[in-house]
Structure 1
Amino acid sequence: MKKLALVLCVLLLSACGDSDVQEVRQWMKQVDSQTRPSVKPLQEPKTFVPFAYASADAPDPFSPNKLLAELARARPGGGLQPDTGRRKEFLEGFPLDTMKMVGTLQKGGAMFALLQVDRSVYQVRAGQYLGQNFGQITSITEDAVNVKEVVQDAAGDWVERMSKLELQDSKESTQ
């Protein structure tokens, strides 16, 4: 049995001879001798002309004084600002998006809006403040409360933004 296994191993190893390898090597030498590489020549480099920067005459672009002067020039008179010294009203403690307009009232020729915050309903009139962005009611109609808010933009400047609380339809069912 051992002899048979040994004979099989010898036969297998003899099959891995060098006959085809010689043909491949000869073909590779032939192709290598016939192939001529073509390389394009490099372009001439561009001539560099140095530039002399005269920074002694120019103002410093990072000077804090220059920045302050530009900011003062951009905002003459200080611009729009909210009245932070004013006593806050109760509805200024709630975000505007938590308020719902649920109706209107008319008393003595003045229009009042009914606003619901959580489960409580409040009467408001034009000129009152509400919301957390210094919002002031500019007008009240049958179906909306118009609010002018004073907010800061990305540059830190105070700008006016108009918002509207529209009348909400009652979706609660009576049971």
Structure 2
Amino acid sequence: MRRFALLGVCLLLTACSGGEHEDLRQWMADETKDIRGRIPPLPEVKPYEPAPYDAGNLLDPFRSAKIEPEHRKSGGGGMQPDFNRHKEPLESFPLESLKYVGVLLKAKASYAIILADGALHQVKLGNYMGQNFGVITKISESEVALRELIQDPGGEWVERVSTLQLQEKETGK
């Protein structure tokens, strides 16, 4: 019985595979013979030529010696900060965290108003601020100038001039 059922299924399948769709196959062959992809040709590849790089005589950007001193004193005595003097409150803050927010003029003397960690501080010429022994040398309406002492890799103390610019009022808080 199984054999007859299997034989019947095979007979039905072979009957469906007749050549009655030959015209459809011919039409598909005619239509696809003229179809071609339109891909532009590849551009000519130019060989890579590396740029010459000679870094032997350039400064190393990761060395601390790249700090250029504005004024270097040579000799045995040289500049040196006074380690025995009493530190002022603004010397515990990095110079980058201090903001110059105003100037106060009284009795022909200029006082700068410095914002540090949410508190206002009044400073004058000769006061110290920043962590590099920075002494205030000039106070104007637009900036405060400092002379800092930093140590170069050779252990020598060098001067560097830094400024704090007047900060405009912040809006939108």
TM-score (structure 2 length as normaliser): 0.56
Q: Where does residue 95 of structure 2 map in the other structure?
A: 96
**What is the CA–CA distance in structure 1 between the aligned matches of 2:106 and 2:148, rounded to whole Å?**
26
**Which runs of 5 or more residues in structure 2 are unaligned?**
1-72
**Which runs of 5 or more residues in structure 1 are unaligned?**
1-73
Letter matched to residue 149 of structure 1: E
Q: Where does residue 132 of structure 2 map in the other structure?
A: 133
Distance 1:75 1:102, change over 3 A: closer
What is the RMSD of the two structures over their aligned residues, measured on CA atoms? 1.6
Question: Aligned pair 1:151/2:150, yes or no?
Answer: yes
Distance 1:75 1:108, change over 3 A: closer
How many pairs align? 101
**What is the CA–CA distance in structure 2 between the aligned matches of 1:173 and 1:133, rounded to whole Å?**
34
SS at the partner of 1:149?
Answer: strand
Letter matched to residue 120 of structure 2: V
The higher relative CO (CA closer than 8 Å, separation ≥ 6) is in 2
Letter matched to residue 112 of structure 2: A
Provide the identity percentage: 48
**What is the CA–CA distance in structure 2 between the aligned matches of 1:118 and 1:172, rounded to whole Å?**
19
SS at the partner of 1:127?
Answer: coil
Q: Deviations over 1:105-146 (max 9, x none)?
A: 001110111111121111111100011110100010000000
Q: Deviations over 1:28-70 (max 9, x none)?
A: xxxxxxxxxxxxxxxxxxxxxxxxxxxxxxxxxxxxxxxxxxx
TM-score (structure 1 length as normaliser): 0.55
Q: Where does residue 119 of structure 2 map in the other structure?
A: 120
Q: Where does residue 164 of structure 2 map in the other structure?
A: 165
SS at the partner of 1:92?
Answer: helix
**What is the CA–CA distance in structure 1 between the aligned matches of 2:74 and 2:106, rounded to whole Å?**
43
**What is the CA–CA distance in structure 2 between the aligned matches of 1:158 and 1:83, rounded to whole Å?**
12
**What is the CA–CA distance in structure 1 between the aligned matches of 2:153 and 2:75, rounded to whole Å?**
19
**What is the CA–CA distance in structure 2 between the aligned matches of 1:95 and 1:173, rounded to whole Å?**
26
Distance 1:168 1:92, change over 3 A: same
Runs of 4+ in 1 over 6 A off after TM superposition: none
